[in-house]
Structure 1
C-alpha cells in the first residue's frame, strides 16, 4: 500500500465511480479496476460496494478509507513541519474567501501579515461560501473565511464575528413609508415588494431560500446577481428590497441615505463569520498568526 494507491482509492470515493475517477486521474478504467482488485485481494476484503450509485463503502472499506486519510495526513503534517524547520518563515498560504469578504478584511489583514512574514506568499482563492468548506476538506486551500453554520465534524470553525441578516428597503418602497427603520418585521410585511436576489453560491441566498420556503413566500423577483455590491446599489433606483448581511450595508454608509434596514423575526437559520480549517491539519507559525490577526485569543488545538 503506497501513497499513490491511497490517493487513487480516495479519488474513487470522491468521484462516486471508478470510471469517473479514472478520467480525473488520467488513467484507464481497466488499470484502476485492476488496482482496486489487487488491494482488495491483499486486504482479503471488499472495499467498495459496486452495485450502488454512487459507489459506497463496505464496513471494511470505511476502516480502510479512514486509515488512508490518517496516513496521508500524518505524512503531509510531517512534511510541513520539516519544511518549516528547514525553510523558516517561507511558503504559500492559500486562503479561500468570497470576493466581498476579501474587500472587507484583506486590506486590514494583509499589511500586518506581510510585515511579519514578508517571504510568505498570500494566495487568495476567491469562491462562494457554499464551496469553501469542501475546498478546505479537499486541501485546495489552507484556510477558508466564510459565512456559514458549523456542520462538518472534520473542520474546526473559529468564530470571528456574529452577523445579522436584515431586510434592506429603498426609502421609496411602501414598506419604508409605513414602518419606521429598524423595527423588527415579518418577512410577510414585504411580500408585495419587488426583490433583488443574490444568486446561489452566497450564504445570504441560503438564508433567503430557507426563509421563503418556511413562510411559503414567492415574491416578485426583479433580477438576480452574484454581487451584493450591485444589488445594494440598485435598491433605490429600482424601488426594491433585498436580504443582506447588515455588515455589508455598514461597509457603505452612503446606502443609508437611500435605504433603511429591518431585522426579520422569522430568520432562525443562524450563519456567522468563521475561519475554518481541517481538524487534523498541521498549523505552522504563519498560519496560526494569520488566524490570530482576526482572532487574537485563538489557541489552536493542534
Structure 2
C-alpha cells in the first residue's frame, strides 16, 4: 500500500472531487484516479460512489478514511521526530499571516528569528485568518498568526498580544478634525473594506450593518489603501500599528472600541518539533 496513494485518497475525500483534488496536490487527474482504483483493488471493496463529477464515500470508505487519517498523522509525527535526530538538520516552517497584519509583523519576525535560529528557515504565506485556520488543519501550514476568535478552537493557539482597530484618514479628511469617530459619522463617507475571509471584514461588517458603510474599494494592499487615504478619496479601519509611523495619515479612536487578540495557531494532536517550540517561544517576545 503506497502512502502517497493514501494522501491522494485523503485529498479526494476532502474535496469530493478528483479533478479538484488533483489540482490542489499538483498530480494529474489520471494519476489520482489510477491511485484510487489501485487502492480499491488492493482492499477488495469500493471506496466511493460515483455520480457524475461528484463522488461520496461508501460506508467502507468512510471507515477507511478514519483509519487513513490516524495512520497519516502517526506517520507525520514519526517523520518529524526522525528528522530531529540529525543535529545539523535544517528545518523549514510554513507561517501564514494576513496581509494587513504582515505589514507591521514581518519586521518583528524576520530576520530576527532566523538570526537567532540559523537552522530554521521561515516561509511566509499571506492568507486571511479564516483561510489560514483551514490550511493549518489541512497541514498546509505549520503556523498561522491571526486573530483569535471563539470558533477557532479547532486549532491549538496562544495569545501574542492585543491591539485596537482605529479609524484612518488623510490629514485633510473632514473626520480628521474629530477626536472620536462614531458609527453615524461613517455612514456617508467613502470607505475602504478589506476582502471577505478576513477578521476585519467580519467584525466591521457586523458592527456597521446599520447605517451601512459606503464601501468604494475592497483591498488588503497597504500601498493602495495609503494612496486612497492620503488623497482623501476614502477612509478605513485597521490595526493601529499599520500607519502609526506615517505622518501623512491621521488616526482616531472609535467611540465603540474594537479590540483584536493576535495569536499563533497550530494543528492539534501533532508532534511539536523543537523548531516549532522555538518559534512559539519566540512569539512570546513580540510586543504590540
Tell me if both proteins adopt one fold, taking TM over 0.5 as the criterion. yes
Whether the 8 Å CA contact 1:92–1:122 is kept in 2: the answer is yes
1:168 Cα deviation (Å)?
2.4
Contact 1:84/1:90 (<8 A) preserved: no
What are the residue-to-residue correspondences of 1:168-179 with 2, within 5 Å? 168-177=168-177
Shift of 1:12: 0.9
- 2:37 pairs, out of 30, 34, 37, with 34
Partner of 1:137: 137
**5+ unaligned residues in a row in structure 2: which ranges?**
none
Residue 284 (structure 1) aligned with residue 269 (structure 2): no
- How far apart are residue 239 of structure 1 and its match? 5.0
Q: CA RMSD in A?
A: 3.3
Distance in 2 of aligned mates of 1:82 and 1:30: 32
Alpha-carbon distance in 2 for matches of 1:25, 1:220: 41
Between the aligned partners of 1:157 and 1:240, the Cα distance in structure 2 is 35
**In the alignment, which residue of structure 2 is the partner of 1:25?**
27
**8 Å contact kept, 2:188–2:213:** no
Kept in 2: contact 1:18–1:33 (CA 8 A): no
Other-structure match for 2:253: 262
The structure in which a higher percent of residues are helix is 1
Q: Which residue of 2 aligns with 1:300?
A: none
**Are the aligned partners of 1:198 and 1:205 in contact in 2 as well (CA < 8 Å)?**
yes
1-side partners of 2:277 and 2:130: how far apart? 24
Deviation larger for 59-68 or 154-163: 59-68
C-alpha distance in 1, partners of 2:15/2:253? 43
Q: Structure 1, unaligned stretches of length 5 or more?
A: 298-302
Q: Pick from 189, 203, 214: which aligns with 1:219?
A: 214
Please give the alpha-carbon distance, in whole angstroms, between the structure 2 residues aligned to 1:41 and 1:230: 57
Q: Is the 8 A contact 1:192 1:220 kept in 2?
A: no
Q: Is the 8 A contact 1:129 1:146 kept in 2?
A: yes
Mapped pair 1:206 → 2:231: no
* TM-score, length basis structure 2: 0.80
> Which whole-Å CA distance do the structure 2 matches of 1:114 and 1:30 have between them?
41
> How much does 1:34 deviate?
2.6
1:236 & 1:92 partners in 2: Cα distance? Answer: 39
